[in-house]
């Protein structure tokens, strides 16, 4: 049975969306080596991979509504595993896992991609600290069972998660672990550790900083609320912009400078919202009904919002004018042509939409009819179709919308809770 979306006059209230994946996984991993019980709230469904790994390593993790409860085992309390730990595709979170496993007295074998560019610099640094990292096969490395010693690393432009991994590795070492970095690098990872009572020193020397950590420090447990993923907030932001009389607040959303391209586009076309700063790149987002205007999206700007193209197409039906979306060839690749499917789906609702090789053009300001749409398992298409259902003339039924659960399990119920039904 499909998801049924009925029209509404406006959306009202407050909503909280699942948190960002990497910060959530970071918090869960540090909780595992903390000395006591931690709570991590609003972790996204994707963080289940970390929970499963921690349980494999002997860490007790329980769930309570929107919270993971992690009973930390202390710095060296993880249990050995016989099977190979598969970290292929883990990226940023995988770096922290490597550092944690490397610090233990037992050997852990990990599987990475044959070309694991994201991990090889860290593996070299861990090897320099006496923490293993030897390649056994093209894709398998061994870590741990060593007497690690702190060293000084020359890493001037190190990425944040690699930096965190080195500092955590330093906790397992005898003596001090130090790295040099460019003054343009932020101290967010130092603050992340200090919140857990880990002392991290940061000293400036000319255009560089020396960041150091003393080995043997304990990680203290913490209660964490993971800030919401901005990408998961957009399906709620758009109806609040499009429907007169709406008043909506999205609570505790992470808004980072490199991830706000679509938010900036919405502001450019007339979207009205305020960002209430809560600190640490976290905001309450207050959204108001807006007079939306035409625009053209192409080239780099289109590439930056590929994920949001279905949402933009849905919103375009509420614009006084037209939205042109070009240079989205990437959406034609994969299991099916998403541009063509989006075109055919919206046209079936009598939306004034045109398709061309590079993308779509949608004329707004005309009624959207009801109907049955097939999301084909694609979460972003399902969310876009749900928005159309809010302002269509009649009910829209979305088939094959199960993909949404992988992003936001409560999406449809959260959307329904904000609706004011048409009379």
pLDDT tens-place string over residues 223-265: 999 999 999 999 999 999 999 999 999 999 999 988 899 999 9
200-205, strands of its sheet edge to edge: 152-154, 176-182, 208-214, 200-205
State residue 71's pLDDT score. Answer: 98
State residue 423's pLDDT score. Answer: 38
Mean pLDDT over residues 135-145, rounded? 90
232 and 212 together in one domain: no
Mean pLDDT over residues 301-306, rounded? 95
231 and 107 together in one domain: no
User: Could you tell me if 360 and 343 are in contact, meaning their C-beta atoms sit under 8 angstroms apart?
Assistant: yes
pLDDT tens-place string over residues 2-48: 999 999 999 999 999 999 999 999 999 999 999 999 999 999 999 99
207 and 327 together in one domain: no
Cβ atoms within 10 Å, residue 411: 22
154 and 287 together in one domain: no
Q: Count the alpha carbons within 13 Å of 116 in the hemisphere toward its beta carbon.
A: 28
pLDDT for 185 beyond 90:
no
Per the structure block, which two tokens stand in for 120? 């090889």
152 and 175 together in one domain: yes
User: Could you tell me if 40 and 224 are in contact, meaning their C-beta atoms sit under 8 angstroms apart?
Assistant: yes
pLDDT tens-place string over residues 382-422: 999 999 999 999 999 999 999 999 999 999 999 999 997 54
Q: Which residue has the higher pLDDT, 185 or 289?
A: 289
Of 153, 165, 173, the closest CA to residue 193 belongs to 165
- DSSP assignment of 321-358 equals EEEEE---GGGGSSSS-HHHHHHHHHHHTT-EEEEETT
209 and 324 together in one domain: no
pLDDT for 104 beyond 90:
yes
Domain that holds residue 260: 3-18+227-421
Phi, psi of 91 (to 5 degrees): 55, -125
Helix (H) or strand (E) holding 395: none
pLDDT for 157 beyond 80:
no
Mean pLDDT over residues 273-296, rounded? 96
State residue 207's pLDDT score. Answer: 81
Domains identified in the chain, total number: 2
Of 132, 234, 206, the closest CA to residue 173 belongs to 132
39 and 14 together in one domain: no
State residue 422's pLDDT score. Answer: 45
State residue 205's pLDDT score. Answer: 79
207 and 338 together in one domain: no
140-144, strands of its sheet edge to edge: 85-86, 107-111, 140-144, 132-135
Single residue among 205, 224, 243 that ends a domain in this structure: 224
User: Could you tell me if 402 and 377 are in contact, meaning their C-beta atoms sit under 8 angstroms apart?
Assistant: yes
Phi, psi of 88 (to 5 degrees): -65, 130
User: Could you tell me if 232 and 18 are in contact, meaning their C-beta atoms sit under 8 angstroms apart?
Assistant: yes
Phi, psi of 94 (to 5 degrees): -60, -30
Burial of 311 (0-12, 13-18, 19+ CB in 10 A): buried
74 and 146 together in one domain: yes
Mean pLDDT over residues 303-320, rounded? 97
Single residue among 224, 255, 286 that ends a domain in this structure: 224
Helices (H), 75-180: 92-102, 120-128, 160-171
Of 55, 49, 139, the closest CA to residue 93 belongs to 49
63 and 179 together in one domain: yes
Single residue among 191, 224, 257 that ends a domain in this structure: 224
253 and 125 together in one domain: no
State residue 274's pLDDT score. Answer: 96
Question: Considering the entire predicted model, what is its pTM?
Answer: 0.92
Average pLDDT of the chain is 94
Cβ atoms within 10 Å, residue 323: 24
- Angle at the Cα of 182 from the Cα atoms of 255 and 201, rounded to 5 degrees: 85
The beta strand positions in 158-288, using DSSP E, are 176-182, 200-205, 208-214, 223-225, 228-229, 247-254, 272-279, 282-288
Per the structure block, which two tokens stand in for 107? 């050997």
Cα-Cα end-to-end distance for the chain: 26
168 and 271 together in one domain: no
What is the domain-level CATH number for residue 211? 3.65.10.10
């Amino acid at each position: 049975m499909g998801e049924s979306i009925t029209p509404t006059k406006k959306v009202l209230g407050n909503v909280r969306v699942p948190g960002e994946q990497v910060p959530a996984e970071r918090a869960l991993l540090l909780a595992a080596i903390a000395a006591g019980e931690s709570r991590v709230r609003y972790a996204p469904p994707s963080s289940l991979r970390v929970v499963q790994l921690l349980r494999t390593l002997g860490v007790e993790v329980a769930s309570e509504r929107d919270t993971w409860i992690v009973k930390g085992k202390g710095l060296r309390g993880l249990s050995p595993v016989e099977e190979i730990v598969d970290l292929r595709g883990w990226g940023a979170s995988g770096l922290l896992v490597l550092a944690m496993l490397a610090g233990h007295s037992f050997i852990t074998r990990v599987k990475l991609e044959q070309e694991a560019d994201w991990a090889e610099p860290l593996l070299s640094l861990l090897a320099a600290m006496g923490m293993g990292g030897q390649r056994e096969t093209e894709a398998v490395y061994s870590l741990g069972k060593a007497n690690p010693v702190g060293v000084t690393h020359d890493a001037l432009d190190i990425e944040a998660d690699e930096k965190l991994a080195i500092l955590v590795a330093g906790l397992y070492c005898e003596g001090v672990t130090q790295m040099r970095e460019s003054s343009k690098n932020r101290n967010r990872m130092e603050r992340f550790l200090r919140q857990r009572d880990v002392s991290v020193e940061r000293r400036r020397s000319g255009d560089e900083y020396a960041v150091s950590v003393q080995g043997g420090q304990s990680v203290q447990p913490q209660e964490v609320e993971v800030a919401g993923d901005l990408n998961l907030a957009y399906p709620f932001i758009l109806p609040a912009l499009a429907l007169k009389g709406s008043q909506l607040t999205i609570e505790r959303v992470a808004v980072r400078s490199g991830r706000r391209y679509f938010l900036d586009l919405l502001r450019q076309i007339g979207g009205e919202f305020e960002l209430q700063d809560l600190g640490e790149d976290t905001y309450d987002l207050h959204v108001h009904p807006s007079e939306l205007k035409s625009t053209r999206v192409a080239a780099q700007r289109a590439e930056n919002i590929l994920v949001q193209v279905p949402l933009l197409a849905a919103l375009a039906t509420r614009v006084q004018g037209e939205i042109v979306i070009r240079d989205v060839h990437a959406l034609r690749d994969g299991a099916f042509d998403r541009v063509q499917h989006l075109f055919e789906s919206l046209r079936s609702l009598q939306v004034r939409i045109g398709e061309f090789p590079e993308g779509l053009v949608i004329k707004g300001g005309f009624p959207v009819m009801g109907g049955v749409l097939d999301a084909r398992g694609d979460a972003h298409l399902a969310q876009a179709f749900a928005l159309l259902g809010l302002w269509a003339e009649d009910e829209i039924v979305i088939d094959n919308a199960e993909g949404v659960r992988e992003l936001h399990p409560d999406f449809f119920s959260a959307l329904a809770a904000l609706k004011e039904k048409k009379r």
